[in-house]
Structure 1
Amino acid sequence: MKEQTNIPTGKVERASKFVTTGLKVGTNYLKHYTKKLIDPSTSREELHADNAEDIYDTLSNLKGSALKVAQMLSMDKGMLPKAYTERFAMSQYSAPPLSGPLVINTFVKTLGKTPGQLYDKFEMQASNAASIGQVHKAVKWEKDLAVKIQYPGVANSVKSDLRIVKPFAIRIVGMNEVDMDKYFEEIEGKLLEETDYKLELRRSMEVSAQCAHIPNLVFPVYYPELSSDRIITMDWLKGFHLKEFLERNPSQEARNQIGQALWDFYQFQVHALKKVHADPHPGNFLMREDGTVGVFDFGCIKEIPEDFYTNYFLLVDKEVLKDEARRKEIYLNLEMIHPNDTEKEIVFFSGLFQKMIDMLTLPFTQQEFDFGDETYFAEIYAYMDYLYNLKEVRDSKVARGSRHSLYVNRTYFGLYSILSDLKAKVVTSEARIQSMLRPV
């Protein structure tokens, strides 16, 4: 893959890249409608593919928050056209890497030494490159190490990038701007945290230690003395990213074992720690044929407020939801319905949410769940597509759902997506969850 020798860091320079891309997207629409006049059977798939390529090319060269939003959107398989999810998914671990001189400059600026002075061996070519940083392999103390390096200008461009990328996200997702405001505030806060590598290092060490008892999970050791505000050094974990792992045709036993480990990992964090590794995309896991899975990248941690946690998990309790007054109270607390809604709107949106809740909480109601059940996910995606196209939903003038639901929902969607790709059979019972909640 071709390396980048520079990253636009100025607000004006970055904004101009988006303007250019906006013009390309406009041209794509013009081409599409011209073709459709000539051939009415022309589908929108070609338009989506052209737009996805142009937008991704811009975002991947800008790096940072803009590319991170693309990565987040790639995980919402039911929300975006397939062309976008497939293209944007590349941001998880295969964006264009930085060139050697930029890497060396980062070391000198933040640690005062070159990689050659700090490590016995340092591979200048990046092994993986994603949205916020890239990873290099190194050797020291006869150990293989992974060195994560943050791209230049990422931390300083979060606010301006999100202002620029917001219209693209709104147009792609098809939501009104009012729907996006409080969620973009939440995203901004999390992205600012992700650019704080000192915070990430501390969280990585803390959460890894708290989850070390969970079977079949492997965490790297972190090295503060070889880390800075833009560099994190940790053990090099062996394994394969999800796509590579599946291409090796692993046994069903290994799939189930990894699926169970990931399920237990997330349930323990949510229910015991009240905070969660909220970036469950495949690029953050390394899977092995012995059924173990390496976990890293704790830059995005969502702390779950107690009141939100209580109401959110009452949605799993079928007996509670049978009480219409109690259910309405929970929906209000979670901002799924609003005090100013008419009775007609309350009935309408409550019905929509209840059906979605019934589908998404189904694994929690069973002793064991087969995430390889394609009909289950087909039903979810079909219903999400139905919601996406409902006039009442698209024309709604209020954002529905607490800002806290953004990353918690994203966590569960990401987890479900990985378990689905693994086709894993997982013990999902309440008893299993409770067994994980030993004192920490």
Structure 2
Amino acid sequence: MKEQSNIPTTKVERAGKFVTTGLKVGSNYIKHYTRKLMDPSVTKEALHQDNAEDIYNTLSNLKGSALKVAQMLSMDKGMLPKAYSEKFAMSQYSAPPLSGPLVVNTFMKTLGKSPSQLYDKFDMHASNAASIGQVHKAWKNDKPLAVKIQYPGVANSVKSDLRLVKPFAIRIVGMNEVDMDKYFDEIESKLLEETDYKLELSRSMALSRECAHIPHLRFPGYYPELSSERIITMDWLDGLHLKEFLQTNPSQEARDKIGQALWDFYQFQVHKLRQVHADPHPGNFLMRADGTVGIFDFGCVKEIPEDFYVNYFLLVDKEVLKDDKRRYEIYTNLEMIHPTDTPKEIEFFSGLFQHMIDLLTLPFTLENFDFGNEAYFNEIYAYMDELYNMKEIRESKVARGSRHSLYINRTYFGLYSILSDLKANVITSQTRIQQMISGQPAVN
């Protein structure tokens, strides 16, 4: 892949890229409707492909928050047209990498030494490149290491980038710009944390230690002395990303072991630690034929407030939700229903939410769940598509759902998506979750 020799870092440069892209997208619409006049059978698929290509090329050149939003959108299957989700998924681990001189410059600025002075050997060509940084392989004392390097200007451009990317995100998803600010404030706070590599290093070490007892998980060791505010050095983990792993035709036993390990990993964090690795995209996991999975990149960690946690997981309790008054109270606490809603709106949105909750919480209500059940996921995607096209939702004057639900929902959608691709059969019972919380040994 061609390396990138520079990244636009000033607000003016970055805004200029968005303006240019906006003009290209506008031109694509004109071309589409001109074709449509000539041939009424022309669909929007070609338009989506052109727009996805132009937008992704700009975002991958800018890196940082702009590209991270594309990555987040790509994880929500059913939210985006296929052309966008497929193109934006490339941001998970195959964005264009930085060139060698920029890498060396980062080392000199933050650690005062070049890579050759710090490591016995350092590969100047990136192994992986994503939205916030890229990874290089290095060796020290005959030990292979992974060195994560943040792109220049990322931390300083979070706020301005989100202002620029917001209209694109809203237009792509098809939402009105109602009171979306609370969600973008949440995204901004998480992205600022992701650019703080010292915070990420401390969280990585702490969460790896807390979760080390979970079967079939592998975590790297970390090296603070070879890390800085823009560099993290850790052990190199062998394994394959999800797409490549599945191409090896792994055994069902390996799929199930990995699926169970990921399920346990997330339940333990959410229910015991009240904080969670909230970036479950395939680029953050390395899978192996023996059923183990390597986990790294704790840059995005969502801390879960107690009142939100209590109300959110009451949604799993079918008995509680049978009480209309209690259900209305929970929906209100989670900002799914608003005090200004009319009785008609309350009845309408409560019914929609209840059906979605019944679908999404189904695995929690069973002893085992087969995430290879395509009918289950087809029903979810069909219902999401139905909601997406509902006039009442698209014209709603309020955004429904707490800001805290943004990353928790994203975490579970990401987890479900990976388990679905693995076609894993997982023990999902409440007994299993309680075992994880209490520290009892869980038997696979």
TM-score by length of 1: 0.99
| SS of the residue 1:59 aligns to | helix
2:65 equivalent to 1:42: no
Give how far 1:45 is off.
0.7
Structure 2 residue aligned with 1:427: 427
Partners of 1:236 and 1:288 lie apart in 2 by 14
Partners of 1:82 and 1:35 lie apart in 2 by 21
1:157 maps to a residue whose letter is S
Give how far 1:247 is off.
0.3
Partners of 2:107 and 2:372 lie apart in 1 by 45
Q: Equivalent pairs: percent with the same residue?
A: 82
Structure 1 residue aligned with 2:293: 293
Give how far 1:46 is off.
0.7
- The one-character-per-residue Cα deviations of 1:162-204 (angstroms, maximum 9, x if unpaired) are 0000000010011111242110000000000000000000000
Query: In 2, are the aligned partners of 1:312 and 1:334 still within 8 Å (CA)?
Result: yes
Partners of 2:83 and 2:286 lie apart in 1 by 25
Partners of 1:54 and 1:427 lie apart in 2 by 43
Partners of 2:45 and 2:378 lie apart in 1 by 20
Partners of 1:15 and 1:278 lie apart in 2 by 29
Summarize the alignment of residues 94-173 of structure 1 with structure 2, pairs less than 5 Å apart. 94-173=94-173
Partners of 1:4 and 1:259 lie apart in 2 by 36
Summarize the alignment of residues 298-377 of structure 1 with structure 2, pairs less than 5 Å apart. 298-377=298-377
2:327 maps to a residue whose letter is R
Structure 2 residue aligned with 1:257: 257
Structure 1 residue aligned with 2:225: 225
- The one-character-per-residue Cα deviations of 1:287-318 (angstroms, maximum 9, x if unpaired) are 00000000000000000000000000000000
- The one-character-per-residue Cα deviations of 1:398-433 (angstroms, maximum 9, x if unpaired) are 110000000000000000000000000000000010
Structure 2 residue aligned with 1:203: 203
2:282 equivalent to 1:282: yes
Give how far 1:78 is off.
1.1
Partners of 1:438 and 1:148 lie apart in 2 by 34
Give how far 1:235 is off.
0.2
CA RMSD of aligned residues (A): 0.8
Q: Please identify runs of 4+ aligned residues in structure 1 that moved more than 4 A.
A: none
Structure 2 residue aligned with 1:387: 387
Aligned residues: 440
| SS of the residue 1:80 aligns to | coil
| SS of the residue 1:178 aligns to | coil
Give how far 1:248 is off.
0.4
Partners of 1:45 and 1:268 lie apart in 2 by 41
Partners of 2:232 and 2:140 lie apart in 1 by 14
Partners of 1:83 and 1:374 lie apart in 2 by 21
| SS of the residue 1:144 aligns to | strand
TM-score by length of 2: 0.99
Partners of 2:68 and 2:180 lie apart in 1 by 16
Give how far 1:438 is off.
2.5
Structure 2 residue aligned with 1:189: 189
Partners of 2:83 and 2:180 lie apart in 1 by 22
Structure 1 residue aligned with 2:271: 271
Partners of 1:69 and 1:94 lie apart in 2 by 15
- The one-character-per-residue Cα deviations of 1:229-250 (angstroms, maximum 9, x if unpaired) are 0000000000000000000000
Instruction: Assess, with a 3 A threshold, how the Cα gap between structure 1 residues 338 and 64 changes in structure 2: closer, same or farther.
Output: same
Gaps of 5+ in 2: none
Partners of 2:334 and 2:88 lie apart in 1 by 30
Partners of 2:22 and 2:43 lie apart in 1 by 21
2:27 equivalent to 1:27: yes
1:288 maps to a residue whose letter is R
| SS of the residue 2:286 aligns to | strand
Structure 2 residue aligned with 1:407: 407
1:109 maps to a residue whose letter is K
Query: In 2, are the aligned partners of 1:170 and 1:180 still within 8 Å (CA)?
Result: no
Give how far 1:439 is off.
5.6
Partners of 1:360 and 1:229 lie apart in 2 by 38
| SS of the residue 2:215 aligns to | coil
Give how far 1:141 is off.
1.8
